[in-house]
Amino acid sequence: MSGNGEVAPGALAAPLEALEGPRRYLLEVPADGGGLDLFIYDVDGWLVDVSFVPPYLDTGAG
């Protein structure tokens, strides 16, 4: 974030409604060469999605 309440350029944003629905669990794993691999599981432990955050978007916060 830019620190002044605005969304930083290149940041992904979604409305609150996008967060509603079945509970999901997120596993963040440092990727080879930088960035993060994101593994998203449902409550039963099934892998439902995989994503990647490139190094230039990985702030290391959190």
**Rounded distance, CA 52 to CA 55, Å?**
9
Give yes or no for a contact between 24 and 36, defined as CB atoms under 8 angstroms apart: no
**Could you tell me the CA-to-CA distances from 25 to 1, 9, 10, 36 in Å, in that order?**
23, 27, 24, 15
Q: How many helices (H) and strands (E) does the chain have?
A: 0, 3
Say which residues have a Cβ less than 8 Å from residue 58's Cβ, sequence separation at least 6: 34, 35, 36
One pLDDT digit (tens) per residue for the chain, 62 residues? 334 455 555 555 556 666 677 888 889 999 888 889 999 998 899 999 999 988 888 666 55
